Amino acid sequence: MSLLTVVLFLPLIGFIVALLVPRSSPQTSRVWALAISLVTFVVSLALPLGFDYSAAGEQFKIDTIWIASPEIHYYLAADGVGLWLLVLATFLTPICVLISWTSIQHRVKEFFAFLLLLEFGLVGVFVAQDLFLFYVFWEISLVPMYFLVGIWGHERRIYAAVKFFLFTMAGSVLMLAGIIYLYNRAGTFSYPAILAMLSSGRLTLSPNEQLLLFLSFFIAFAIKVPLFPLHTWLPDAHVEAPSAGSVMLASLMLKMGTYGILHFCLPLFPGASRQCAPWIAVLAIIGIIYGALVSLVQPNMKKLVAYSSVSHLGFVVLGIFSFTQVGLDGAVYQMLNHGISTGALFALVGLMYERRHSLAIADYGGVANVAPWLSTAFLITTLASIGLPLLNNFVGEFLVLQGAAIANYTWAVFAAIGVILSACYMLWLYQRVFYGEASEQVGSHLPDMNLREWAAVVPLIVMMVWMGVYSQSFLPPVTKATARVLDQAQVNVPFRVALPSRAEVAGAR
Amino acid sequence: MPVSSFINTGDLVRFLPEIILSVFGTLLMVLDPIVNRRSSSVFGNLTLVALIAALFGTAAAYSQPGTAFGGMLIVDGFATFFRVLVIVVGILTTLPSYGFLKRQDAETSEYHALLLYSIAGQCLMASANDLIMIFIGLEISSIASYVLAGYLRDDKRANEAALKYFLLGSFATAFFLYGVALIYGGTGTVNLSMVRSAITGPNAPSPVFVGVAAALMFVGLGFKVSASPFQMWAPDVYQGAPTPVTAFLSAGPKAAAFAIFLRIFMTALEPLGVGWQPLVWISALASMTIGNFAALLQSNVKRLLAYSSVAHAGYVLVAFTARSDTGTAAAMFYLAAYALMNIGAFAVVSHLSGKGEGYQSLDDFAGLGQKQPLTAAMLSIFLLSFIGVPLTGGFFGKFYIFKAALESHLVWLTVLGLLNSAVAAYYYLRILVMMYMHEPSEAASKAEPLSPSLSAALILPAIGTLVLGIFPGWVLNFADKSAGLVK
């Protein structure tokens, strides 16, 4: 059995078993969720270990027919980008289980079941190479997240959950139309086959077709990213979601959008992508600055982190549409960074909410006096998030800005403003929450982290440092994959690393 | 001509399902005074036996495909598909009816007999190859359904529903009959294949004349499938009729009506396709839009599902608009998926509504997820299928419909239809929100535990919905094979 199949179906098995656990023993549900998600993570480590870093193209390929007519394949494979996003998903799921251990007290069984179903959907999205299969996972992941927000969220959870579902649904139905249209033109759902047909000229799309198809895909992805001005669902969903939901949403579901743009939009519709690039870049820059400015004035910690995601994801989109090798590398690296550091921020904010039952910044102050270790962890995460050198975000932001500067110097200038603003809002947040005198409520309600919470947070901090200090562990397969994307997008790229030739690429398919 | 040249055993085998259903229906009527109706569920059991026998009859008929009774009937894949579909709908209607009839103190054999007659009519519709046979099937099915709609005779709403259904239904049938009469007048035949050759042949009647006939038939059939602009009756009738009957009406007669719709328009009137396609286009879009937007505002679940069924008729009409074999296959597949999920959803409504059907509002679903997790989980599967979430039959059906539409270059209809399905997600989500995100209501707390027959009525369609979503190939291949109708 293929390794990817195992990694994909372990969470699904976990979901089914979790449903069968009796309602009366929540502890069993917790332990089971932790066990199966850890097993999934350990098994998924075999992917980066067994990955051939010298080869471009998808690996761990498994391709069998799922539905005979119209021919739909169960076609999984991981390229350098999907590989890391998959590992990110399996890495964060046990952490989400840990931070939900005590904070989820009612309907525990369903909570962990939905978390595992969500992992199944996310893993599938990042490795599906059949457009139909991709759409299936894309939509599947929507359902558990809808329930996670709607059942276990805060006061306005129902509004947030429905808004989230409808926004995503509205975008994805158009993508479905695009996928069907492509199928009718190409006669297959297999993504590599369609790319091969495009590059060999057996399938040509007129500029008009290409633009409309590009938009049908791009809008679905842009809603998920979310790109300004399609971001309005995000603050609601993030703020109302339970901590684990926020972590999964920010760290992984937003990446479905940027991954989709990178993996599908650029290679499939290179002309239209380039045609739209200036517009999208401008929207991304607006998102960077707007997200940062709104973060600056948020009285609610979770909302602040949520808007900072809009800003961070703007960098990713900008990197992608710079059409430069460094920009694309930075974008992918930034996806992973944001997954780690914003995931950690949401987890830590969740720990504080569990203690103090408030998300308002004004209700805190002086936390550093009573919970020094929590404060330290939060500080490291804050510094990572604002892009301090030797921590992970610095590498990604630097590459993106470099790429943007190559493409258009003005873009880089404006985007850099976002970096400065991120330092403002994050450090100011830190100052207001952790420094000063501890009020009586803070003093009595904020014990420091316990062992379980350490177990959740330390891996994240380790990753922040590792990814910041030695990016070479992660970047080479990414570069291979993005170089191929650029090659498929047929753009002249300065600073290009050694590229596989067109013939090699075709051979690898 | 001697009788024996008309009727031979082959013809009888091809007519077997209808024979079985009518015989059992009559048997039930006769048994009514004999059996002590209080003590047993014998009528229900007998109905199930009849339906299962009819399934075997259908299989036997399919083993001898061809025409029967001088070309009046045709047993092909298409007919068999719809026969099986309406019989399965009958089984899934009978299962929740046990508990329902007991609750309402209305266990008589007429209910079951009428159900069997109605299904017999629908089987006839599915296999008719002749406008008169189609009309007879339509009438058998409709008249039995009119009575079923008003079956709870002390219920004011049911009476209103039955009367409305009867009056409007009769008008619609009359329109259809006018159309048939015009066709006969113009071509001198009622056989579908001969009509087709007559209107394409050298002595073809004026296209305007045939066009008017087609339009009249479209009105009549549009009513039967509750397509816009003839959908006005649906919400009132669906809301007023006893819930298991509503489930039946929204699945069985609708599927059979679509079967004749497809058969007439894709065979006899297919040469006029360019003419009727814009009409169906408009009707499809209007049905989807009116159905979905009206459903957004409903607070009664039966009414909500009624508008949703209008919208789903619109999706099937999209497949119809495609005017291709893929379109026909897509319509067949979608109708199967739709029948399963719809009848399952109504079974939950029937279960929850309690004695006197008092609990039907959206608020009554509050907290069902906590009180009855299995019921809520099954309804969730049906609702997700309605929305069109992958791995459910509803998703694959929709995908296949819009694929057919795009193949026929109906880009705008596809885009508008898909956007419509995003709008629709909202009102289905409202039910999910109620079930899982609110504290339990009185109705959810009072709901009885699931009886075995009701569990079967929920679990079987749920499994069916998932199977159609995960392994659509089995049904799809059959639909694909059967979609090329005999012309």
Collect all residues of chain A within an 8 Å Cβ-Cβ radius of residue B400.
Answer: 70
State whether A177 and B390 contact (CB < 8 Å).
Answer: no
Distance (Å) from the alpha carbon of B485 to chain A's nearest alpha carbon: 19
Distance CA A385, CA B405 (A): 48
A282: Cβ contacts below 8 Å, ≥ 6 apart: none
In a 13 Å sphere around the CA of A473, the CA atoms on its Cβ side amount to 13
| Average pLDDT, integer, range A241-258 | 90
Distance CA B369, CA B439 (A): 9
Number of domains in chain A: 1
The token pair at A249 is 């949403």
Distance CA A1, CA A10 (A): 13
Q: Which residues of B touch A (CB under 8 A)?
A: 370, 373, 384, 387, 389-391, 395, 399-400, 402-403, 406-407, 411, 414-415, 418-419, 421-422, 425-426, 429, 432-433, 436-437, 471-473, 476-477, 480
Distance (Å) from the alpha carbon of B410 to chain A's nearest alpha carbon: 11
**For B413, nearest residue in chain A (alpha carbons):** A177
State whether A107 and B370 contact (CB < 8 Å).
Answer: yes
Distance (Å) from the alpha carbon of B341 to chain A's nearest alpha carbon: 18
How much is the pLDDT for A60?
A: 86
**Residue B319: how many CB atoms within 10 A of its CB?**
32
| Average pLDDT, integer, range B144-152 | 89
- Average pLDDT over all residues of chain B: 88
Distance CA A224, CA A226 (A): 5
Distance CA B127, CA B125 (A): 6
Helix (H, G, I), strand (E, B) or coil at B324: coil
Flag whether the ipTM exceeds 0.85: yes
A498: Cβ contacts below 8 Å, ≥ 6 apart: none
Q: Which of A23-37, A384-398, B386-400, B443-457 is the least confident region?
A: B443-457
Using CB atoms, pick whichever of A23, A139, A181 lies closest to residue B389: A139
State whether B418 and A177 contact (CB < 8 Å).
Answer: yes
Confidence bin at A485 (pLDDT 50/70/90): confident
Peptide bond into A70 cis (omega under 30): yes
Per DSSP, B298 falls in state -
How much is the pLDDT for B438?
A: 84
Collect all residues of chain B within an 8 Å Cβ-Cβ radius of residue A158.
Answer: 433, 437
The token pair at B89 is 């709908």
How much is the pLDDT for A490?
A: 67
State whether B389 and A157 contact (CB < 8 Å).
Answer: no
Q: Is A445 exposed, middle or buried (0-12, 13-18, 19+ CB in 10 A)?
A: middle
For chain A, give the percent of residues with pLDDT over 90.
30
Per-residue pLDDT of B312-333, as tens digits, reads: 999 999 999 988 888 999 999 9
In a 13 Å sphere around the CA of B154, the CA atoms on its Cβ side amount to 5
Collect all residues of chain A within an 8 Å Cβ-Cβ radius of residue B326.
Answer: none
Residue type, position A443, single letter = G
- Average pLDDT over all residues of chain A: 86
State whether A69 and B476 contact (CB < 8 Å).
Answer: yes
State whether A162 and B436 contact (CB < 8 Å).
Answer: no
Collect all residues of chain B within an 8 Å Cβ-Cβ radius of residue A146.
Answer: 429, 432
pLDDT tops 80 at residue A507: no
How much is the pLDDT for A226?
A: 87
State whether A139 and B480 contact (CB < 8 Å).
Answer: no
- 3-state DSSP of A216-270: HHHHHHHHHCCCCCCCCHHHHHHHHCCHHHHHHHHHHHHHHHHHHHHHHHHHHCH
Question: Of A500 and A6, which is predicted with more confidence?
Answer: A6
Supply angle C-alpha B8, B14, B20, rounded to 5: 105
pLDDT tops 90 at residue B481: no
Per-residue pLDDT of A398-420, as tens digits, reads: 899 998 888 888 888 988 898 88
Distance CA A253, CA A122 (A): 7
Confidence bin at B71 (pLDDT 50/70/90): confident
Selected for mutation to probe chain A from B325, B418, B427, B476 (highest A CB count within 10 Å) is B418
- Kindly report the length of chain A: 509
Cα distances from A325 to residues A402, A481, A487, in angstroms, run 10, 10, 10
How much is the pLDDT for A290?
A: 92
pLDDT tops 70 at residue B39: no
**For A181, nearest residue in chain B (alpha carbons):** B406
How much is the pLDDT for B37?
A: 62
Domain-by-domain residue ranges, chain B?
9-482
Supply angle C-alpha B112, B117, B119, rounded to 5: 95
R_g over Cα of chain B: 21
How much is the pLDDT for A125?
A: 93
**b/e map A73-111, b = 16+ CB within 10 Å:** bbbbbbbbbbbbbbbbbbbbbbbbbbbbbebbeebbbbb
Count of pairs with CB atoms under 8 A, one residue in A, one in B: 82
pLDDT tops 50 at residue B1: no
Residue A360 lies in domain:
3-508
State whether A170 and B395 contact (CB < 8 Å).
Answer: no
Distance CA A460, CA A91 (A): 9
Confidence bin at B38 (pLDDT 50/70/90): low
Collect all residues of chain A within an 8 Å Cβ-Cβ radius of residue B436.
Answer: 147, 150-151
How much is the pLDDT for A1?
A: 72
Per-residue pLDDT of A82-138, as tens digits, reads: 889 999 999 999 999 999 888 888 888 889 999 999 999 999 999 999 999 999 999
Distance (Å) from the alpha carbon of A177 to chain B's nearest alpha carbon: 7
State whether A69 and B402 contact (CB < 8 Å).
Answer: no
Per-residue pLDDT of B159-184, as tens digits, reads: 888 999 999 999 999 999 999 999 99
How much is the pLDDT for A500?
A: 45
State whether A166 and B390 contact (CB < 8 Å).
Answer: no
Collect all residues of chain B within an 8 Å Cβ-Cβ radius of residue A151.
Answer: 436-437
